[in-house]
Structure formats: structure tokens, C-alpha cells
Amino acid sequence: MDIKEMAGLSLGSTSATSASGLDFRDHSSAGMDNLSESKKRKKQKKKKKSKCVAISILDQLHRNGAASALPSQKLAEAIFPWKAANIPNRGRSAVATRLIKAGEVIVAEQAVAFVTLSSYRTALCHACCQDLVEGSPRYECSLCSYAVYCLECQRDALSWHKKWCHVVASIKNIAKQASCDEDLLHLVLALALSKSPSLKKRGVLGEGFVGTSSDGIIYPCFSDVMGLQTHHDKAKADWKAAVRKGCESLREAITQLELEDEDEETICQTLTVEDLEMLAALVNTNAHGMGAQGPRNTDSALGIFPFVSMLNHSCRPNCCFASDHKIMYVRATRDVPKGSELCVSYINSYEPRATRKQELAVNKHFVCCCERCMEPLHLSVDRFLEGCICQVKGCGGVLIRTASKKESSSEADVALSPWECDLCSSVLDPGLPSPAKSKAFGDKPWELVSQAEGRLVAAMAVYIERRFKEARVLLEQFLADFTGKLHPLHVLLFDALTPLMNCCRALGDAEEGSRICRTIINCLEKVSSGPTLELANFYYCLGEMHAERADTYGLSRVLAKRHMRLAHEAFEHVESIQNVCLGKSTMASRLSKQKPE
């Protein structure tokens, strides 16, 4: 097999010589225009020397081949309860080597490289990923106006940062000029620099030594990254063009540095534009959100974790991840028998099958072949997420588009597809004239869905403007009009619930808010396969609303006690979910406060 094929790559414009890492192309000279002649000569001399010793990123990627085991795989197998195996259609997969219990850690791995997202630039230390509480002492590099470190990391991190500060400083502008994602370029640079010999010596990468494990945590090395899969060939042309432009300028900025140390040769002189592009593709396929720690609920950083990247996606996952500073932990969310595949979810699983598949195809460049997507639609919970209730008297079955049952259907196919009931087998076809007497949406599910979409979009526009009173009216009307016509688990009904709950809370109506919250929890429990942090969040909201109601002025003692008990029960759910998904819970103090008498 062609080695490129094995790596899953189609290298487009990359020539065979550059793939070997021995070709220095024209882009390098662009960055040298403003260097003096003697400096140019010095650089050229170094280039000649490096031709003999340098092994480029592309070259390493090809040698390792994305289909084989990662270099540190044996190390991982010694501490984690799974091994890598090839599964048809899904490639390398993590397969349990024994029964794994819910809550067990299956991967604990330090990021090879990470960056804070630009919108959270000052919220985390760029060296240890520790939260920087507002007003806490920190050091912000005034030259690049990018790097921010906590006091503890400041000394070591700064001496390393100083070397690359000039390049870091240029990324904002490069990203703008190339219409390329700024965070992507920062992570590409961080990843390229993780190859640095001097970085390893300084121990800036972290507590452990790369390529080792300690205390059950694996510290992967750069060559593990090189064993990861990319889908560079499948990326959209405009993404590739923007990334190429960004990488060209990034390389130019790197080659302008004069480091006069081992990094000069290992990084500045050998890194090609194709290497950087390949790292960008690697980031695109493998980067994981991190930093949703403490009070924050959203990702604030992005990191590369080669062993976490061995886990395939499933729309019915049995594992979840949670980061703690630079370490990513993956835990089983339910018991997993020996020999079963361990999977996480890369996307929101409360979406119809076609939407999930589309998202994975467009953003992650693969066709999902997970257990949930492979089961027949008429037997899967997926039919409810896009189904309408059959209006044939006494039937109560679920109507779904026949196109949804097919593996792949074009948008036009979907729009023109007949709908069929899973119980009475009635067929409603948009291509045929509907019965003259009937004006009911039940006879035209395609119109029902399109009306519902329009109404929800209109209500959400008001909600986004924080006009909670008006939004509540619109959302309540929406639910009243479409409940009983769309399936109760339909994604459009589900999508209306959280904003409605938030409107109720904003308007001080905890009674209605908690009722809606229970409906959300009920839907999530029916659709998801086990505990998730999203579910814990809703239980937490529920607990808070019951606690608020227990505190209501003038409430009878009996009712107050009841709400106290319900709050306590909700917080207990949060505690048990957090124990599984995070290995610890933040609920202890809340629970002692809400303890019913």
C-alpha cells in the first residue's frame, strides 16, 4: 500500500521531495528579504547542514503511518484498561481488556500542546492551564500582548516564551490576513514547538517527562502526535487555502528568528509550510476542548492528547472527558464489558441522525458508523427526534421521512421524501395532492415541521435579545401549538425548553421553571445513554429552583420542607453524576445545606 494512503493523506500540492523533508521551498526566501547578506549566508550554511540530519514532521508522519500503534502504546497499555485494535469503518479503536466499571479512568493524559482560546486569553495561565481568578497576580507579556502566566509559572515560561514571542505576536495579524482561525494557528505553533529539544530540557512541558507515565498519567511525546489521523484531503478548499496562507506567513515569521541554538536547526530550519499545514489538519481532527473547570462551564482551551484521540466517536458514548488543568481524564460513564469499544461523543447527541451525520461529515470529515447510527431507524430513539405523531384515529404511531431511513440522501431527496407511519404504515407524500377535505398539518408533516422551524427561529430571535417576557409568550405558544403533533422528544420541542426555562427563571417563576426543567431531564434521560455533565447541569438548575421556592416568603412549612427535599434529591443526582464523570463532586456543601429535616 502507498504510504500516503496508509496515513490517510492526499497531499495535494506537496511534492515528493518536500514530503521527505529535504526540500526548502521558495516560501523560505520571502522571510529572508530583510536579512543582511551575511545573515543570509549564515542561514544558508545552516540549511545545508540540516539537510543531512533533519527529519520533517511530514516525514515522521509517513514513517509512523496513521494506521499503526502510537509509539507510546505499550506504555498506555500498561496503565490503562484497553488496547488499540482496528475496527472496520472506524479505524483504530480503544477496546476494553477487562470489565471497566462506571466512573473508572480509562485515559489520563497530559496535553502535548495546548492553547487558551482567544476569548479566554486572560482567564487561564498559558503554561499550567490554571484558572487566573480576576484580580489575581499574573504576568502578561507586553511585547506580544498574548501570553499570560500565573506567578508560579512566570519565570520558566517567560524564558521559553521570549524565544518565540515575536512569532506569537504576529499570529493575530497573520490570521486576519489569511482569514484563518487565530486559535488554530496558535495551536499549530505550540505543537510545532513541542518538538523542541530545549523545551524538553527545561521541563516547560510539565511535571512528567515526555514519553513516560507516572501516577497513572501518561506524558506522550511528539512522535505519538505524528501517529494520529488527519483528514487533510477531505477539508474544504477554502479552509485549505486559508490555512496554507496562514502557514506560509507563520513559517516566514519562524524562519526570521535567529536562535543560534538547537531549536534553530530542529525547528526554524526544518519546518516546511507543508509540515505546518499537516499540523493544522491534525489539530482539526484531534484537538479536544479543555479548561471547563471550576465555575466555568465551557471550553476555554484546546489541546492535543494522542491517547484520548484513540477514542472513536459514538452518538451513544460510554465514556466522557473532563480536563483538569493540562491533564485530560476520560472516564467510563457506564460499565463496559471486556472486548467492547470505548467511545466518547464529539458532538451534541440530542440531534436527529441526519443532522449529527451532517455535522460529523462537514466538520470532522467522516461518515459516522456508530452503533446508534447503524441501527434501523424504525427501531431507534432517533425516529422520535425527527418524528411527527400519526394523526390517523387511534394510531399514535410516529411518522418519519422515508429518506431518513436511507444511508445518504441529498437535501432535495429529503425535502421531497414521503413520510411513513411506523405503526399503521400510512404514507403521506408531498409529491401527491393531499385529500381535498383535509387542511390539517397531520396530513402534511413536512409543512408542520417547516412551520415549527419558522416559529422557533422567531421566538429565539426575541430570546437572544433577552426580551424574556415576550420570548416566554412566544415559546409557550410554540409548545402549545406543536405538542401532540411533533413527537414529545422532537428536537424542535426540546430546543424550545431550555430558553423557556431560562425565561421563567429570569422572570422569577421558579415553579414553572422547575416543571420545564423536569421535562428537559426526562427527554435527556430517554435519549442519552448514561450520565452526562449536561444532565448534571439540569439537575443542578432543578435543585436551585426548588431551593429558591423553599425560601419563598410566606410559604407554608409543609411546602417549604417538600421543596427542600426535592432540592436535596436533585443535588444528590448532581453528586452521583459528577462522581462518575469527574471522579469527584462539588456538591458536598450544597447537600449539607439542603439536608431535609
Which residues are near ligand SAM by CB under 6 A?
Answer: 66, 89-93, 229, 231, 285-286, 309-310, 312-314, 364, 366, 368-370
Cell of 428: 403521506
Per the CB < 8 A criterion, the answer to whether 101 and 333 are in contact is no
Q: Report in angstroms how near the CB of residue 199 gets to ligand SAM at its nearest.
A: 24
Q: Report in angstroms how near the CB of residue 516 gets to ligand SAM at its nearest.
A: 32
Q: Smaller CB distance to ligand SAM: residue 8 or 246? A: 8
Q: Smaller CB distance to ligand SAM: residue 46 or 364? A: 364
Nearest to 259, CA basis, from 268, 251, 250:
268
Q: Smaller CB distance to ligand SAM: residue 66 or 188? A: 66
Q: Report in angstroms how near the CB of residue 119 gets to ligand SAM at its nearest.
A: 24
Q: Report in angstroms how near the CB of residue 376 gets to ligand SAM at its nearest.
A: 17
CB-nearest residue to ligand SAM: 91
The dihedral formed by the CA atoms of 515, 521, 527 and 530, expressed in degrees to the nearest 10: -160
What's the Cα-to-Cα distance from 175 to each of 235, 244, 362, 561, rounded to whole Å?
A: 18, 11, 22, 57
Q: Smaller CB distance to ligand SAM: residue 46 or 90? A: 90
Q: Report in angstroms how near the CB of residue 305 gets to ligand SAM at its nearest.
A: 10
Q: Smaller CB distance to ligand SAM: residue 56 or 64? A: 64
What's the Cα-to-Cα distance from 124 to each of 139, 167, 287, 364, rounded to whole Å?
A: 11, 21, 18, 27
Report how far Cα 407 is from the mean position of its chain's Cα atoms.
25
Phi, psi for residue 326 in degrees, rounded to 5: -85, 0
What CA–CA distance (Å, rounded) separates 339 from 124?
39
Q: Smaller CB distance to ligand SAM: residue 312 or 514? A: 312
Residue type, 86: N
Q: Report in angstroms how near the CB of residue 8 gets to ligand SAM at its nearest.
A: 7
Secondary structure class of 399 (helix, strand, coil): strand
What CA–CA distance (Å, rounded) separates 53 from 37?
25
What CA–CA distance (Å, rounded) separates 441 from 398?
14
Q: Smaller CB distance to ligand SAM: residue 18 or 309? A: 309
What CA–CA distance (Å, rounded) separates 109 from 326?
8
Q: Report in angstroms how near the CB of residue 328 gets to ligand SAM at its nearest.
A: 13
Q: Report in angstroms how near the CB of residue 230 gets to ligand SAM at its nearest.
A: 8
Q: Smaller CB distance to ligand SAM: residue 313 or 472? A: 313
What CA–CA distance (Å, rounded) separates 13 from 330?
38
Secondary structure class of 421 (helix, strand, coil): strand
